[in-house]
Amino acid sequence: MKVCFFAHYSKTYQNGATLSLINIANEMVDKGIEVIIILPNKSIQYPINNKKIKCITIPTLSMRTKVENDGVVNKFKGIIKSFYNWFSMKKALMVLNKEKLDFIHINGLDSGIGAKVAKKLNVPYIWHIRQLLEEDFGMKLHNEKKIYKLLKRSDSIIAISKTVKEKFERIVEKDIALIYNGIPIKNYRIEEKESFSDKVINILLAGRIIEQKGQFDAVKAIGHLVNSGINNLHLTIVGNSADTDYVNKIKSYIKNQGLNNYIEISDHVNDLRQLRKNCDIGLICSKKEAFGRVTIETMISRMLAIGANTGGTAEVIEDNVTGLLYVEGDHLSLASQIKYAIENKQAMNTIIEEGYKSVLENYSISGVVDQIIDLYYTVRQEKLEE
C-alpha cells in the first residue's frame, strides 16, 4: 500500500498537527506501508528522520485567516492565495502522477489542494480534521464553501475528538470516524518520578501563547493563590507566539501584581521532557481544544493534568480520576483546583498514576495507526462494491 500525506501549512514543526502526522508516517512505515509526504513550507526543517519516507516540498499558502479579518483587502488576499495554490496543485499533480497511490491522506483543514489532486488522479482521499478553527485558533477559511464542498466529497473523514466530530458532522452531513490522536509513548514516557515531593510546587503550561490557549487565566490563578498566602508555587509558561499584544498583556500583569518570582515565560525550551520531569502539575487552559495532544503528553509524563472542562480536554481527562477539571475561563475555579491538589498530595499521586495508565491504554500511536489502516481497507472495500 502506498499513501501520500498532504501536510498543512505551519510556521513551526512543533505544531501539534504536524508532529501527529510525522508520528503516523513513521509508524506506517514500520508497518510496511510506503509513505510520501507533501510538505508546504520550505523554511521549516521538519523532524522527519526516517529515510524510508519520501518527502516532497511544494510551497503552498495557508487559506486560514483570522475570524475578525474581513473586507476588501482580506478577500483580495484570499484570491491571491487561491491563485498561487492553483499552481501548487498543478505541480503536486505532475509529481504524484508518476506514483501509483492507493490513498491520499489530508492532514488538517487548510486548503483543498490534496482533495483536488486526488480527484484528478482518481485516488480515494481521507481527510483528517485536527482543529475546530474558530473555537481553538480564532481562525476561518478564505474559501470556506469550496473547501467544505471538497471535504463533503471525501471518501472518509477522521475526527480527533467527539467535539470535532459533532461540529463537522453538522457541516458535511455525513458520518465521521472518530480516531483520537496518539503519541509515540517512548518519546514522552517518564518511568520513575516522585511528584509533589519538593516544597515548591512546579507548574507547567506548554503551548502556543495565544488568547485561545488561556495563559492569562493561569497567571491570574497563580496571582490569586499568592495573594491568599500560598506562595510555594512556580509557573512556567512555554510557547511561541505571534500575538505580541497578548504576551505583553500577560507580562504587564505579572509585573504590576509583583509575580515575577512566581511566574516565568519562555518562547523556547531545549528539553521539554526534562522540564516536565521537574514539574508536578501541567495546565491545559484552552478555551476549547480540538483534542489536546499536550494533555496526554502531560499525563504520560507523570504530571497532574488540570484542564478546562471543554472540548477535547474534557474527553481525555476524567475529573478526579485521571486529572482535574475546572470551569473554563474562571481563574478562581482553576486556583481552587490547584489549591486542592496541593492540599491532597497523596490523592493526587494516585490520580497521576491513573492518568499515566490511561494514556498507555488508549493513546499509543501504534493503536491509532492500526485504526487508520483499518479505515483504509474499509474505504477500499466500499470502492470495490460501488
Distance from C-alpha of 54 to C-alpha of 96, rounded to nearest angstrom: 12
8 Å CB contact between 142 and 78: yes
Domain parsing of the chain, residue ranges: 2-182+364-385, 185-362
- Residue 241 — very low, low, confident or very high, per pLDDT cuts 50/70/90? confident
Q: List the strands of the sheet with 2-6, edge to edge.
A: 54-57, 34-39, 2-6, 103-107, 125-129, 156-159, 177-178
As beta bridge partners, residue 65 has: 140
Classify domain 185-362 at the CATH superfamily level: Glycogen Phosphorylase B; (3.40.50.2000)
Distance from C-alpha of 246 to C-alpha of 116, rounded to nearest angstrom: 37
Give me the percent of the chain exceeding a pLDDT of 90. 80
Regarding the domain delimited by 2-182+364-385, which CATH topology (the fold level of the hierarchy) does it fall under? Answer: Rossmann fold (3.40.50)
Of 135-139, 182-186, 251-255, 353-357, where does mean pLDDT reach its minimum? 135-139
Question: How confident is the model over 71-122, as pLDDT tens digits?
Answer: 899 999 999 999 999 999 999 999 999 999 999 999 999 999 999 999 999 9
pLDDT at 351 over 80: yes
One-letter amino acid at 143 equals N
Residue 350, burial from CB neighbour count under 10 angstroms (0-12, 13-18, 19+):
exposed
Question: How confident is the model over 297-337, as pLDDT tens digits?
Answer: 999 999 999 999 999 999 999 999 999 999 999 999 999 99
Mean pLDDT score of the chain, rounded to an integer? Answer: 93
Give the pLDDT score at 137.
Answer: 84
The CA-based dihedral angle spanning residues 326, 328, 331, 335, taken in that order and rounded to the nearest 10 degrees: 10
Give the pLDDT score at 157.
Answer: 97
**Which residue, 23, 244, 33, is CA-closest to 130?**
23
Residue 373, burial from CB neighbour count under 10 angstroms (0-12, 13-18, 19+):
middle
Give me the percent of the chain exceeding a pLDDT of 70. 99
Strands 201-206 and 233-238: parallel
Q: pTM for the full model?
A: 0.89
Give the pLDDT score at 269.
Answer: 78
As beta bridge partners, residue 158 has: 128, 177
Contacting residues for 94 by C-beta, under 8 A, at least 6 apart: none
pLDDT at 156 over 90: yes
Give the pLDDT score at 13.
Answer: 53
DSSP state of 44: -
- Mean pLDDT for 17-28 is 90
8 Å CB contact between 5 and 17: no
- Residue 12 — very low, low, confident or very high, per pLDDT cuts 50/70/90? low
- Residue 16 — very low, low, confident or very high, per pLDDT cuts 50/70/90? confident
pLDDT at 184 over 70: yes
pLDDT at 140 over 70: yes
- Mean pLDDT for 347-366 is 95
- Mean pLDDT for 274-285 is 95
Which long-range contacts (C-beta less than 8 Å, at least 24 apart) are formed by 71-74? 74/142
Distance from C-alpha of 191 to C-alpha of 207, rounded to nearest angstrom: 23
Give the pLDDT score at 217.
Answer: 97
- Mean pLDDT for 216-227 is 97
**Which residue, 226, 355, 224, is CA-closest to 282?**
355
pLDDT at 14 over 70: no
Distance from C-alpha of 153 to C-alpha of 125, rounded to nearest angstrom: 9
Q: How far is CA 14 from the centre of its chain?
A: 10
One-letter amino acid at 383 equals K
- Mean pLDDT for 282-287 is 96
- Mean pLDDT for 27-37 is 95
Distance from C-alpha of 79 to C-alpha of 219, rounded to nearest angstrom: 40
The CA-based dihedral angle spanning residues 265, 267, 271, 273, taken in that order and rounded to the nearest 10 degrees: 60
Give the pLDDT score at 99.
Answer: 94
DSSP-derived 3-state class of residue 282: strand
Domains 2-182+364-385 and 185-362 share a fold: yes
**Which residue, 276, 262, 289, 274, is CA-closest to 356?**
276
